[in-house]
Structure 1
Amino acid sequence: MSWIGKIATKVSKFSLNKSDKRLYNAIKRIIGTSPTNLAIYKLAMQHTSVAKENKDGFKESNERLEYLGDAVLGSIVAHFLFKRYPYKNEGFLTDIRSRIVSRASLGDLSKKIGLDELIEVDTKRKNAYSHKSLYGDAIEAFIGAVYLDKGFYFCQKFIVNRILLTHLDLQTIIETDKNYKSKLIEWAQKESRNVQFSISKDKAENNSRQFVAQVLLDENPISTGNGYTKKNAQQDAARRACEALEIE
């Protein structure tokens, strides 16, 4: 039976083996209550490097939960910032949200709540994966599991109270000016690479023009970004390029 078939299954702490009991207790500590379905969390901590094929030939890893968690996290962070900063424009909100959900930020948060001790990964291949990507993916998958196990409103409270307000200094994030475009250009010069920025298109949305920027590395597109100004769109695209290239 796949994890999908186990969603409605309730778990009893006393019926678990030693490994599952450790995971159960860790999840309870992280989210503040007992998990209902341990199978979802086990899948969330299963990196693709240790994925096993089920009877249908599908490799079960945390990638699908990562996809779900990414969407849930983005929505909740956007709503949180919208309410917390009622007089800030969309450019400010977009920028701060991007910094919060960046791979580097999520990687740090993952370790702060203890997911680095729970993630299952092929240790022989661990060096092949970026820690920022590995742990950033894990926290998104974990959020996807919390969402499925406990519902949206519980998940929202978990993210806001146990992650954003506990482990992030929003004022420091706001005051730290990260010029990703300059950082990318500086890296390209050191590595003798050719980097270019372009506005690939723009579109009207709710009477506002939104720009879409593209980063080309050695004439090959590596990232795109959005913004309500050309500068913001280029910064967003540069941020995504820095993450893809693992530029600190």
Structure 2
Amino acid sequence: MVWRILKIPKSKTVHDQKLIRAIQNIAGFTPSNLALYKLATVHSSVAKETEQGFKESNERLEYLGDAILGAAVADFLFKKFPFKPEGFLTEIRSRIVNREALNQLAKKIGVANIVQFDNKNAHLQQVILGNTLEAIVGAIYLDKGYLRTRKFVIDKLIAPNYDLEELVNSNSNFKSKIIEWAQREGKEVKFEIVDVKKAKNHKEFTAQVVVDSQAMGTGYGNSKKKAEQDAAFKTCELLNLLTA
């Protein structure tokens, strides 16, 4: 008699179960390929190096997710506003997917509970949540396909978290707010890039708003423009300009 050796599926760890529940809460479905979501939550600061010398972090998934998220939002806005020009659509998409908005959204839906990073680096938490959300979008795309990803973006990210009417009518150019305030108050304002960190696939900029030689808000982003807008947003908070 020939005995067939059956492979017994490895039971999921406590961490796996926690991640599955988190993805169910965030995305509304059970992941088919859990490994993708595991990778999506690993920041480069704690990534382990493979035998080939490659660090397994979420940076590649973040790159993919950034593109897929932008496409899904563009698709949604194109159909939502059929008579609006390209400039309008680009501006509203930017307000939805800018770094500060994604960081706040990721925090709200629970991404902070599953991201793995070097918590000795104090400012990382402020900049990686949005990146991790993009990586999760990339994981969903590879796991479930574009249509399911688009549904996730619309039903789980945009619909419950954005008031489109308010978004259309609001001024989210925080840098302009600071400049206008400084002109009214007779203040001198500068936007300075004070640090640039090079990661494997991108740069991380740190910007500082300086008002009359006094340092105000500090912001972070993967471009100078995004870092300056983040710093301007935090300065608006300090100066109580967000309702102005």
Q: TM-score, normalised by structure 1?
A: 0.70
**In 2: Cα distance, 1:110 partner to 1:194 partner:** 26
Deviations along 1:33-59, one digit per CA (max 9) or x if unpaired, are: 210111110110011111110111011
C-alpha separation in 1, matches of 2:144 and 2:71: 17
Q: Which amino acid in 2 is paired with 1:143?
A: V
Post-superposition offset of 1:26: 1.2
> Deviation digits for residues 101-155 of structure 1, max 9, x if unmatched?
0111101111122111110111112x13251x21110110010000011111110
**Partner of 1:214 in structure 2?**
none
Contact 1:180 1:239 in 2 (8 A): no
Q: Distance in 2 between matches of 1:15 and 1:191?
A: 62
Q: Which whole-Å deviations, capped at 9, do the CAs of 1:198-220 have from their partners, x for residues lacking one? A: xxxxxxxxxxxxxxxxxxx9xxx
Matching residue of 1:153: 147
| Closer/same/farther in 2, CA of residues 190 and 103 from structure 1, 3 Å limit | farther
Q: How many residues align?
A: 194
- Say whether 1:240 aligns with 2:202: no
- Residue 184 (structure 1) shift: 5.8
Match of 2:85 in 1: 89
Q: Which amino acid aligns with 2:74?
A: A
Gaps of 5+ in 1: 1-11, 196-216, 218-236
- Runs of 5+ consecutive residues of structure 2 not aligned to the other structure: 1-8, 193-208, 210-222, 235-244
Q: TM-score scaled to structure 2, two decimals?
A: 0.71
Residue number in structure 2 paired with 1:220:
none
How far does the alpha carbon of each residue in 1:139-193 deviate from its partner, in whole angstroms, 9 at most, with x for none? 1001000001111111011111111111111111111113344246468x96764
2:123 aligns to what?
A: 128
Residue among 162, 165, 168 paired with 2:162 = 168
- Quick check: 1:73 aligned with 2:69? yes
Q: In 1, are the aligned partners of 2:62 and 2:135 still within 8 Å (CA)? A: yes
Instruction: State the alpha-carbon separation in 2 of the partners of residues 61 and 191 from structure 1.
Output: 42
Please show how residues 1-248 of structure 1 align to structure 2 within 5 Å.
Answer: 15-125=11-121, 127-129=122-124, 131=126, 133-183=127-177, 185=179, 193=190, 240=226, 242-243=228-229, 245=231, 247-248=233-234
Write the distance in 1 (CA, Å) between the matches of 2:163 and 2:60.
30
Distance, in Å, in 1 between the alignment partners of 2:191 and 2:156 is 42
Partner letter of residue 38 of structure 1? L
Q: Provide the alpha-carbon RMSD of the alignment.
A: 2.7
Larger Rg over CA atoms: 2
